[in-house]
Amino acid sequence: MPEYAVRTEDLWKIYPQEPHPVEAVRGVGLDVHAGEFVAMAGPSGSGKTTVLNLLGGLTRPTRGKVWIRDSELSGLPDKELAAVRLAHIGFVFQSYNLLPVLTALENAEFTLLLQGVPARERRERVRRLFREIGLEGLEDRKPPKLSGGQQQRVAVARAVLGNPALVLADEPTANLDSTTAEALLDVMEQLNREKGTTFVFSTHDPRVMERAGRLIRLVDGRIEGTSSGAGW
């Protein structure tokens, strides 16, 4: 039986708006195996970000269930949801969302710190990864002193350093130029291949779709189709 990184069953998210509620996600069923490199594509408003938020336990489904490994999220209280996110999920956001008062190193080690990893080990792991993804020497810079690509790589480092079962990346290349985007994708692909980290992207970017192992097309909150990507 394959190990799932994340699984959903008849997932719905309805926003109660007047005069008509908005059905952002409509009955999404999704299985992502550990080690997959999956992209979700679709037009704006198709529900990609909402699905990612549901997968990550950042918002609660109106109906349906989400499992991260063996934990079913929909019934968990906030505190336990936070614990599941800390242990199993990494996030990469479109606009980087680094904490501006922390240095690159402190941002990257944030989840390790929450996990209670000792300082020496934290620093060692961050520095090693920074070397691998080309951030060496930038450890003490705060986000405003980093380029967009550097910030996004710090965000990726933050997302993967805690060894999560799943990294959810919401349009991670949207704000990057093509060279930087390619470099970032190289980094994530490398992490996927070498460390087995599972990635689920939402994206408009053809470069991401090309590299994805599986491509899921969302339209109006529904999965319209799934195909094997052109990726490795």
Partner 1 sequence: MNRVGNVMWWRMAWRNLWRNRRRTLLTASALSFGFVASVVMIAFMDGMMEELISNGTRVVTGQVQIHAPDYRPERNIHDTMGGREGVDVGALVAAVEGQAGVAGAAPRLYGGGLVSSGDETVGAVLMGMVASREEAVSRFGHAMVAGRMPGPGEIVVGDAMAETVAVDVGDEVVLVAPAADGSIGNDLFTVSGIFHVGVGGFDDSYALLDMGSLHELMAMSAGRIHEVAVSVERIRDADAVAARVAEAVEEISPGLLTESWSVLQPQLHYVTSMARAMNGIVALMIFGMAIFGVANTMLLATFERRREFAVARALGTSGGAVGRIVVYEGLLLGLVSLGAGGLVAGPILVYLHGNPIDLSSFVGTYSFVGSAVRPLLTVAFSWQGPLASAVALVGTGVVSALIPAWRAVRVPPADSLAAR
Q: Does 99 bind partner 1 (CB under 8 A)?
A: yes
Q: Does 76 bind partner 1 (CB under 8 A)?
A: no
Q: Does 106 bind partner 1 (CB under 8 A)?
A: yes
Nearer to partner 1, 106 or 205 (CB): 106
Q: Does 82 bind partner 1 (CB under 8 A)?
A: yes
Q: Does 2 bind partner 1 (CB under 8 A)?
A: no
Q: Does 22 bind partner 1 (CB under 8 A)?
A: no
Q: What minimum distance in Å lies between the beta carbon of 2 and partner 1?
A: 26
Nearer to partner 1, 83 or 183 (CB): 83
Nearer to partner 1, 50 or 173 (CB): 50
**Separation between Cα atoms, residue 37 and residue 231, nearest integer Å:** 9
Residue by residue, DSSP assigns the chain as: -PPEEEEEEEEEEEE--SSS-EEEEEEEEEEEETT-EEEEE--TTSSHHHHHHHHTTSS--SEEEEEETTEE-TT--HHHHHHHHHHHEEEE-TT----TTS-HHHHHTHHHHHTT--HHHHHHHHHHHHHHTT-TT-TT--GGGS-HHHHHHHHHHHHHHT--SEEEEESTTTTS-HHHHHHHHHHHHHHHHHH--EEEEEE--HHHHHH-SEEEEEETTEEEEEEE-S--
Radius of gyration of the chain (CA): 17
Q: Does 119 bind partner 1 (CB under 8 A)?
A: yes
* From 81-89, 124-132, 194-202, 205-213, span contacting partner 1 (CB under 8 A): 81-89
Between the alpha carbon of residue 48 and those of residues 19, 51, 54, 149, 218, the distances in Å are: 24, 5, 10, 23, 7
Q: Does 113 bind partner 1 (CB under 8 A)?
A: yes
Nearer to partner 1, 119 or 230 (CB): 119
| Residue among 26, 85, 125, 211 that touches partner 1 (CB under 8 A) | 85
Nearer to partner 1, 21 or 225 (CB): 21
Q: Does 102 bind partner 1 (CB under 8 A)?
A: yes
Q: What minimum distance in Å lies between the beta carbon of 196 and partner 1?
A: 21
Residues that bind partner 1 (CB under 8 A): 49-50, 53, 56, 58-59, 78-79, 82-83, 85-87, 89, 91, 93, 97, 99-102, 106, 110-111, 113-114, 116, 118-119, 158
